[in-house]
Amino acid sequence: MNKRGKLKLFSKRNNFSKTGQVWIETVIYTLIAFVMIGLVLSYAQPKIQQLQDQTILQQSTGMLKQIDSTIATMGTVGNQRVIEIGIKQGTLKLECAIDKIVFQMDSKSEYSEPGKIINDGDVQVFTEKKSGYNTVTLTMDYSENYNLKFEGRDELKTLSKSSTPYSLSISNDGQDSDGKIILNMTIT
């Protein structure tokens, strides 16, 4: 092989190695970008989840206050009100046997100081710290002035998360023997 043939062969090899090097660099840069995106997401994802949970808990507190406001304006016997209740996460319990309405949710967020009952208006907020998450309980206590019923009975009704809002109907059914206003609730 003459000198010119070797030169052509060498230049072809060099050209192939330059193309290979470009591909290797592209793959390495792409992998570095994926690692960086993964690191950012691993830090940001829990913070985003905490903010989402906190927002849901604030909305749920507002929902309980809306129910309370509706109950306060029930008026005379026979009046009825319908409230749209959206539950995105957690459960809403109508605990008619003890005359309480309770919202409970597992959350990454500490909504209040763990282990202590905090009052947000008439809503009692209790955060219980557990392994990796918190259980937040929001409670409205009506035992002093009202006798809550679900479909005429003292029972527990649990509403879980739903893509469509619930329609909670509340009616004033007069007073019981203790002088408490009977509020009969149904889901329509």
73: nearest Cα among 170, 167, 165, 143: 170
On whether residue 29 sits in a domain, the answer given is no
Q: State phi, psi for 127 to the nearest 5 degrees.
A: -110, 125
The C-alpha angle with vertex 21 and arms to 15 and 23, in degrees rounded to 5, equals 110
Alpha carbon distance 85, 67 (integer Å): 9
pLDDT-based confidence at residue 9 (cuts at 50, 70, 90): very low
Q: What is the dihedral of CA 141, 97, 181, 153, to 10 degrees?
A: 140
Q: Does residue 94 belong to any structural domain of this protein?
A: yes
The per-residue pLDDT for range 12-34, each reduced to its tens digit, is 555 556 677 888 888 999 999 99
| Residue-number span of the structural domain to which 150 is assigned | 41-187
Residue 132 is predicted with a pLDDT of: 82
Q: What is the pLDDT of residues 52-87, one digit of tens each?
A: 989 999 999 999 999 999 999 888 898 999 999 999
Residue 5 resides in a domain: no
| 16 assigned to some structural domain | no
For residue 116, tell me if it sits in a domain: yes
Is the pTM higher than 0.85? The answer reads no
pLDDT of residue 16: 55
pLDDT at residue 3 greater than cutoff 60: no
Q: Mapped to the 3 state alphabet, what secondary structure does the chain carry? A: CCHHHHHHHHHHHHHHHHHHHHHHHHHHHHHHHHHHHHHHHHHHHHHHHHHHHHHHHHHHHHHHHHHHHHHHCCCCCCCEEEEEECCCCCEEEEECCCCEEEEEEEECCCCCCECCEEEECCEEEEEEECCCCEEEEEEEECCCCEEEEECCECCEEEEECCCCCEEEEEEEEEECCCCCEEEEEEEC
**Structural domain total, the chain:** 1
pLDDT of residue 188: 82
Assigned domain for 33 exists: no
Res 166 pLDDT > 60: yes
Q: Does residue 152 belong to any structural domain of this protein?
A: yes
9 within domain boundaries: no
Q: For the segment 86-144, what is each residue's pLDDT rounded down to a tens digit?
A: 998 999 999 999 999 999 999 988 888 899 999 998 999 999 998 888 999 999 999 99
pLDDT at 7 over 50: no
Contact call for residues 83 and 170 (beta carbons, < 8 A): yes
